[in-house]
Chains A and B, each alone.
Chain A
Amino acid sequence: MALVLAPVPPVSDWLAELDALAKRSPAFFVGRPVILEISGAALDREGLRALVAELSDRSVTVMGIEGAGPGLLGDGLPPPLAGGRPVEEVAAPEEAPEARVSVSQAPAPARSLILDAPVRSGQTVLHLDGDITVMGSVASGAEVIAGGSLHVYGALRGRAIAGAAGNPEARITCRKFEPELIAIDGLYRTADDLGPVQRGLPAQVRLEGDAIKVAALE
């Protein structure tokens, strides 16, 4: 991306304006590629040469010139450019999240993901192709998302999302049930909704119709 300067006649006034801007933020042009758009400036070759020199005195390096008439450019002047497009803010191209989440057409054999380390606060583990088994704990502020079931052999203190690939049969099991949020197949309950049921105890969570059921893990 380059900055475009479009001088308008009279050029001396325009330069004064530029100086005022440069005074407000002296480092504004340093290291920035600048393109000169001169279609509105009505300049001849000498005028253009003088303008480029003036700009270079102000540490503005012109890397190309757009909108120059035929024969105007030549030795000592920056090369012509064409086809530049104005941009607003550059928005990062969004990957379609659905593409990532979608289940493959022919269901591959479900694979499970086994984590030997605890899932720490702030970490997200996403595994949509099958179950996730966590040998340690899932910390408060951590998030584990499985396409299938979720097995936590330590304490479940974070967010547990099972059946995320559209599987109402998925379950969540853990040895110590203290989650911030649980969800199966899109249905979720926060810790507040859940109340004290099985809190701190081994538990399993599953869907019965449209209701999330928490039960003791025998």
Chain B
Amino acid sequence: MAKILVVTSGKGGVGKTTTTAALGAALAQAGQSVAVVDFDVGLRNLDLVMGAERRVVYDLINVVNGDAKLNQALIRDKRLENLSLLPASQTRDKDALTDEGVARVMEELREKFDWVICDSPAGIERGATLAMRHADLAVVVTNPEVSSVRDSDRIIGLLDSKTVKAERGETMEKHLILTRYDPARADRGDMLKIDDVLEILSIPLLAIIPESMEVLRASNVGCPVTLNNPLCAPSRAYIDAVRRLKGDTVPMAVPSDKKSLLNKLFTRRAA
């Protein structure tokens, strides 16, 4: 039985899709069988970040409508055989998602994999609420800035009220991944502090992903960052996050100033 994890944020452009791909690949690298599901119907991106855009035949909507079987729509990753993608449809919109169809697909995925990671669209409308609906746990992706934090707070409220788990009276497990963290800006005080974000959102911190060119580079070549360069700072943060999700205790690395980070990398490579 899989654990269903939703990656959500409220605000757009904070790194949900990057995080979905990175966590999915890192879990698969750790030997788990993983499906990543794109819920951003109409504005799909996960296929690009995963480098599978030229292999899409059927998509989530086809499976939801019963036009295709789940196995026909799942795209197996070329680099990691235990990682699969269920792409979204680009030609439809979120209204094409039906409650029953999504419930059926999620149940079917739950039977097949160890982890199902749902990449939520931005917003609080149908796509986002359906992506979180069947989740067992949630990863809330937030940038250290006020608008992103408030939107995440809103999403946490929905996770606690609009999900199947919440409606059954159970508590939804929630984790925070702080992305695009820039140590230099943090030192100058040009960014919300980690403690302030944690104080506002009051959910446990899963990872701090430093702002890095490596993330952009990985997206451009269509490869999850944890797979493209497992040794770079963002990848190591994602890999630690996955270990925490699996129940390990891993000390939290707070990205420090850029120079020392580079120095650390160099010394590591030299050794």
List of A residues within 8 angstroms of B124 by Cβ: 122
CB atoms of B200 and A122 under 8 A apart: no
B189 at the interface (CB under 8 A from A): no
CB atoms of A136 and B202 under 8 A apart: yes
User: Which of A19-27, A79-87, A137-145, A204-212 participates in binding chain B?
Assistant: A137-145
B150 at the interface (CB under 8 A from A): yes
List of A residues within 8 angstroms of B169 by Cβ: none
List of A residues within 8 angstroms of B153 by Cβ: 120-122, 139-142
Q: Is the interface of A mostly helix, strand, loop or mixed?
A: loop
User: Which of B101-109, B154-162, B214-222, B232-240 participates in binding chain A?
Assistant: B154-162
Instruction: Determine the distance from Cα of A137 to Cα of B199 in the docked complex, in whole angstroms.
Output: 9
- Nearest B-chain residue to A122, judged by Cβ: B154
A59 at the interface (CB under 8 A from B): no
Interface string of B192-206 (1 = CB under 8 A from A): 000000011010000
Interface string of A112-128 (1 = CB under 8 A from B): 00000110111100000
CB atoms of A120 and B160 under 8 A apart: yes
CB atoms of B157 and A122 under 8 A apart: yes
- Nearest B-chain residue to A119, judged by Cβ: B157
CB atoms of B199 and A139 under 8 A apart: no
List of B residues within 8 angstroms of A141 by Cβ: 150, 153-154
With A118-B202, A155-B199: A139-B160 Cβ-Cβ less than 8 Å = no
Interchain Cβ contacts within 8 Å, total number? 37
Q: How many chain A residues touch the partner (CB < 8 A)?
A: 14
Instruction: Determine the distance from Cα of A54 to Cα of B181 in the docked complex, in whole angstroms.
Output: 67
Instruction: Determine the distance from Cα of A142 to Cα of B199 in the docked complex, in whole angstroms.
Output: 16
| Docked complex: A118-171 residues within 8 A CB-CB of B | 118, 120-123, 136-137, 139-142, 155, 157
Instruction: Determine the distance from Cα of A123 to Cα of B153 in the docked complex, in whole angstroms.
Output: 10
List of B residues within 8 angstroms of A137 by Cβ: 199-200, 202
Q: Is the interface of B mostly helix, strand, loop or mixed?
A: helix
B157 shortest CB reach to chain A, Å: 3
List of A residues within 8 angstroms of B151 by Cβ: 121
B171 shortest CB reach to chain A, Å: 9
Instruction: Determine the distance from Cα of A157 to Cα of B199 in the docked complex, in whole angstroms.
Output: 12
List of A residues within 8 angstroms of B200 by Cβ: 137, 139-140, 155, 157
List of A residues within 8 angstroms of B150 by Cβ: 121, 139-141
Instruction: Determine the distance from Cα of A137 to Cα of B200 in the docked complex, in whole angstroms.
Output: 8
- Nearest A-chain residue to B149, judged by Cβ: A140
| Docked complex: B35-60 residues within 8 A CB-CB of A | none
A55 shortest CB reach to chain B, Å: 29
Instruction: Determine the distance from Cα of A140 to Cα of B197 in the docked complex, in whole angstroms.
Output: 13
| Docked complex: B140-178 residues within 8 A CB-CB of A | 146, 150-151, 153-154, 156-158, 160
B207 shortest CB reach to chain A, Å: 22
Q: Considering the complex of A and B, which 8 residue pairs feature the smallest CB-CB distances, nearest first? A: A120-B157, A121-B153, A121-B154, A122-B154, A139-B153, A123-B157, A120-B153, A121-B150
| Contacts A/B (CB < 8 Å), 10 sampled | A117-B160, A120-B157, A121-B150, A121-B154, A122-B124, A122-B157, A136-B202, A139-B150, A140-B150, A140-B200
Which residues does B use to contact A, with CB under 8 Å? Answer: 124, 146, 150-151, 153-154, 156-158, 160, 199-200, 202
Beyond A120-B160, A122-B153, A137-B202, list 20 extra A-B contacts (CB 8 Å): A118-B202, A120-B153, A120-B154, A121-B153, A121-B154, A121-B157, A122-B124, A122-B154, A122-B158, A136-B202, A137-B199, A137-B200, A140-B146, A140-B150, A140-B153, A142-B153, A142-B157, A155-B199, A155-B200, A157-B200
